[in-house]
Amino acid sequence: MGKVKITQVKSTIDRPKRQKLTMESLGIRKMHQTVVHEATPQILGMIAKVQHLVVVENA
């Protein structure tokens, strides 16, 4: 599996708690923070739930 680079581009203020927890479980805690993960089905599912808050690139 490849790697994906995930960057937060929108705030989690005024978002449902589940979305905030998903962002935190991805390891993203601040705006414009970038993390790199393996592209597993679990990670891709989490990205799909918060796709409106992040930008995803291949790493």
Number of domains in the chain: 1
pTM over 0.95: no
Within a 10 A sphere around the Cβ of 43, how many other Cβ atoms? 19
CATH of the domain at 34: 3.30.1390.20
* Residue 38 domain boundaries: 3-58
Residues 6+ apart with CB under 8 A from 35: 5, 6, 26, 27, 28
Q: Secondary structure of the chain in the HEC alphabet?
A: CCEEEEEECCCCCCCCHHHHHHHHHCCCCCCCCEEEEECCHHHHHHHHHCCCCEEEEEC
What's the pLDDT tens digit per position in 2-50?
999 999 999 999 999 999 999 999 999 999 999 999 999 999 999 999 9
